[in-house]
Amino acid sequence: MRKLLLGLILSMLAVAAMAGDWLVEPYLGYSFISGDVHGVDVEGNGVQYGARLGYNFPLLSTGLQYDRNSITDLKFSDYESYGKGEGTGSNLGVFALAALPLVGLRAWGTYFFMAGIDGTKSGGPLSDDTKIRGHAFGLGVGYKLPVLPLAFNLEYRQATYDKKDIAPGTAEIYAFTGTVSCPLDF
């Protein structure tokens, strides 16, 4: 009886896996950033682009997500005389996305096990050659158009950077991002 039950479960999993397909979802968006770097308040914004690559199961997708940010207009509260800073960010993580295809709604969560910001223009505690590393998580919701492979998304992210080449301490960054994506199934 156990072998029959195990065989039935394995065949159901195999059929479910065959019903799945590959997901490739490039996206482009704009982020609004705020947070704390070494006890100094920071605000900024910038363009974000990236992609999700994964596997679709019925109602669920999972895989890897990578993105890059071009962070501009970084303003540090105690460093106004330094001007605005700039940086580039990159994130790599795993995501799980749940979708209701008939109504177009989707929601996902991402854990970024590699997150980093590299300073490209001095403007406070983030100097030209500063590199900070850490981890992040993101939660998002979106709406996928019923006919076209086009989705509109909103995402919240929180990042903690605790590995850096400058003074000890941590940096906490919060971001709200609006993106347009093109979810393609193969």
What is the per-residue pLDDT across 113-135, written as a single tens digit (0 to 9) for each? 999 888 776 666 566 677 888 99
pLDDT given for residue 120 in this prediction: 72
* End-to-end Cα distance, the chain: 38
Winning range, highest mean pLDDT, from 41-45, 121-125, 151-155, 168-172:
151-155
Q: pLDDT band for position 58 (50/70/90)?
A: confident
5 confidence band (pLDDT: 50, 70, 90) = low
Per-residue tokens: 39: 């006890």
- What was the pLDDT predicted at 95? 97
CA distance 124 to 85: 7
Phi, psi of 155 (to 5 degrees): -140, 145
Q: What angle do CA 163, 118, 175 make, to 5 degrees?
A: 85
Instruction: Give the domains, in start order, of the chain with CATH numbers.
Output: 21-185 (2.40.160.20)
